[in-house]
Amino acid sequence: MPIATMEIASNDSHFFLRFEQMLTPRSVFEAQGEAHEAIDLRLVQSIDELLVPSLGKWEGSGSWFHQLDFYGDGVRSLTFSRTVFPYDQIRRLQALLQGEHAPFCILCIATDKLSPANDERASEAGDDYLAIFAERLLATKPLAVQCPNG
């Protein structure tokens, strides 16, 4: 499955401005009513089934984290240590966004802050972002250049 169009944000501010514009309107998720939480949970489970075999469980991990707070906005948020960012799984993550999950977004954050051995240089480094949508990607440049077809 080829990755669809990738837009590269020049900086964090540009990324979040475009990210907000690209999100599915909340009314789409509100229209799902009580089913939305179950649909969201199925996506959570699919993401974990995909990533746990290669990254291990995220609970208590110093390498990645799956934000399980439920906001009803259709965004699944994953944070990865830069050293384990799953570039090889981006296409598969995007493939999860079909059918009932097509309106969702998977927001991936690459950071140096998850590592317990965080040094001063790492704490000064900013995070990088990749937003995966069903038919497009939005990324900050450091992640975009390493993505397949980036």
Whole-number Å distance between alpha carbons of 148 and 17 = 24
Bigger pLDDT: 46 vs 72: 46
This prediction has a pTM of 0.89
Q: What is the pLDDT of residues 132-141, one digit of tens each?
A: 999 999 999 9
Question: What's the pLDDT at 120?
Answer: 47
CB hemisphere CA count around 150 (13 angstroms): 20
Nearest to 79 by CA among 97, 61, 99, 104: 61
Whole-number Å distance between alpha carbons of 43 and 53 = 16
Whole-number Å distance between alpha carbons of 106 and 85 = 14
Q: What is the pLDDT of residues 47-89, one digit of tens each?
A: 999 999 999 898 877 889 998 877 789 999 999 999 899 999 9
Contact 44, 69 (CB under 8 A): no
The overall average pLDDT reported for the chain is 87
Question: What's the pLDDT at 35?
Answer: 92
